[in-house]
Structure 1
Amino acid sequence: MMLTGKCVAVTGAFGSLGAAVVEAVQKAGARVAAIDRTATPHEPLGDAALFGNVDLGDMASAQKTLDDIAQKLGGLDALVNVAGMFRWETLVDGSLDTWDLLYRVNLRTAAAASKAAVPHLLKSTAGRIVNVGAGAAGKATAGMGAYAASKAGVARLTEALADELKDQHITVNAVLPSIIDTAPNRADMPTAEFDRWVKPAQLADVIVFLLSDQAAAITGALVPVNGRV
């Protein structure tokens, strides 16, 4: 299996995509720590070590959690930053609080978790960070400003951190999904063609590859995962 013997932390692990990533990483042979802001997962997460009620927007909380994970798992080889949220809201009719919220949930959590993880990843022979960005960050349309701005920040974080760590055996990449086939997205877009969307398991498979030794030469990449959108 591609990740046998690896220790992987996944943020946003109790949500639809996070749970799919946890499952895929476990199937690939890794030990997994599942981190989330909520208290308990909505579905079983196999043998994953659960870390609920974690505010990754708070640096002290992020550091304590990643330190605890490294101690519990016997080290840390990889971090997958799934934690995030979506809001559609125009600037004129909306609130600047939405911009602050999406910055904190989509970008600050990834930055804080990465900063907390790096000291542990430096002890690995093949450290990995994979962020979940968004294809929509490339060009914003009406109502997508706050979301696109926060996810564009994830892309720039990925590139900058990849360059920062390229000589320290840590790769940093991001996946850029189009629309992920989740229950909330189906509810928001009931007339859409769901079979064109990216399945969480499909996105998780790309993430597993980026975590693997086979992807050792890839860093700073922003990988589109579009399905047929």
Structure 2
Amino acid sequence: MAGRVFAITGASGILGAAVAKAAAEQGARLGLIDFAKAPATDGPSGPDVLFVGGVDLTDAIAAGAAIDAVAERFGGIDTLVNVAGGFKWETHEGGGWETWHRLFLMNVQTAANASRAAIPYLKRSAAGRIVNVGANGALKAGLGMGAYAASKAGVHSLTQALSEELKADGVTVNAVLPSILDTPANRADLPKADFSAWVQPADLAAVMLFLASEEARAVTGALIPVTGRV
């Protein structure tokens, strides 16, 4: 990964920060993009790190400007990691159309906008990569998961469509499908769960870094479950 340029969306969140940390430890240069205006407090820093904050990735123009800023700083982009997204548990009868619209924007549109902006740079890379975050729960939606699962299924379809579109250009496009991440928010929501069965953010980041590596050059269009013991 030494010298490779990563653009990571949702970089101030727990998973985004884990991906940034793992990539930095392998010598990557980082463009950290987030809706938050400040980077993660314990995240990587220094001349090989650019933080682009306050970015609404549901806005194609804003997403394009953020991606361009990363490419301008480092002379291109080799890997786009689409972590930005959101979740809401809501039954269909008790919910509203706004949740469906909001989760589509947060999960599908952010990835689509960032990918569209990054594609010209990825095509110029010797090993362009896009790594998306889907959801294992989108393979079979549970109670209250309709809007979230549908939006993440959209991420899965985007991944597969882009892999076909870009394979002739040598750009791979894959997605990881986690179950439940071990985060403070999830622990608060499910206090009686067996946290040891959940996926650690660092472990999911390791799979994502593999998909961004040269060793994964033959893998594209894959939807890879990362489910721990859930």
Q: Choose from 27, 30, 33 the match for 1:29.
A: 27
The CA deviation string for residues 112-137 of structure 1, in whole angstroms up to 9 with x for no partner, is 00000001111101100000000000
Q: Does 1:105 align with 2:103?
A: no
Q: Work out the CA distance in 2 between the residues paired with 1:169 and 1:157.
A: 17
Q: Does 1:83 align with 2:81?
A: no
2:15 corresponds to which letter in structure 1? Answer: L
Q: Which residue of structure 2 lines up, in the alignment, with residue 114 of structure 1?
A: 115
Q: Work out the CA distance in 2 between the residues paired with 1:4 and 1:66.
A: 20
8 Å Cα contact 1:8-1:80 kept in structure 2: yes
Q: Which residue of structure 2 lines up, in the alignment, with residue 213 of structure 1?
A: 214
How many residues in Structure 1 have an aligned counterpart in Structure 2? Answer: 227
2:41 corresponds to which letter in structure 1? Answer: E
Q: Which residue of structure 2 lines up, in the alignment, with residue 204 of structure 1?
A: 205
8 Å Cα contact 1:28-1:208 kept in structure 2: no
Q: How does 1:28-177 map to 2 (within 5 A)?
A: 28-47=26-45, 48-177=49-178
Aligned identity (percent) is: 55
1:114 corresponds to which letter in structure 2? Answer: S
Q: Unpaired segments of 5 or more residues in structure 2?
A: none
The CA deviation string for residues 149-180 of structure 1, in whole angstroms up to 9 with x for no partner, is 00000000000000000000100000000000
1:29 corresponds to which letter in structure 2? Answer: G
Q: Work out the CA distance in 2 between the residues paired with 1:73 and 1:44.
A: 22
**Residue 44 of structure 1: how far off its partner (Å):** 2.7
Task: Describe the SS at the equivalent of 2:86.
Answer: coil
**Residue 42 of structure 1: how far off its partner (Å):** 3.8
Q: Work out the CA distance in 2 between the residues paired with 1:46 and 1:37.
A: 18
Task: Describe the SS at the equivalent of 1:117.
Answer: helix
1:19 corresponds to which letter in structure 2? Answer: A
Q: Work out the CA distance in 1 between the residues paired with 2:213 and 2:3.
A: 11
Q: Which residue of structure 2 lines up, in the alignment, with residue 19 of structure 1?
A: 17
TM-score, length-normalised on structure 2? 0.97
Taking only aligned residues, the RMSD between alpha carbons, in angstroms, comes to 0.7
Q: Unpaired segments of 5 or more residues in structure 1?
A: none
8 Å Cα contact 2:17-2:40 kept in structure 1: no
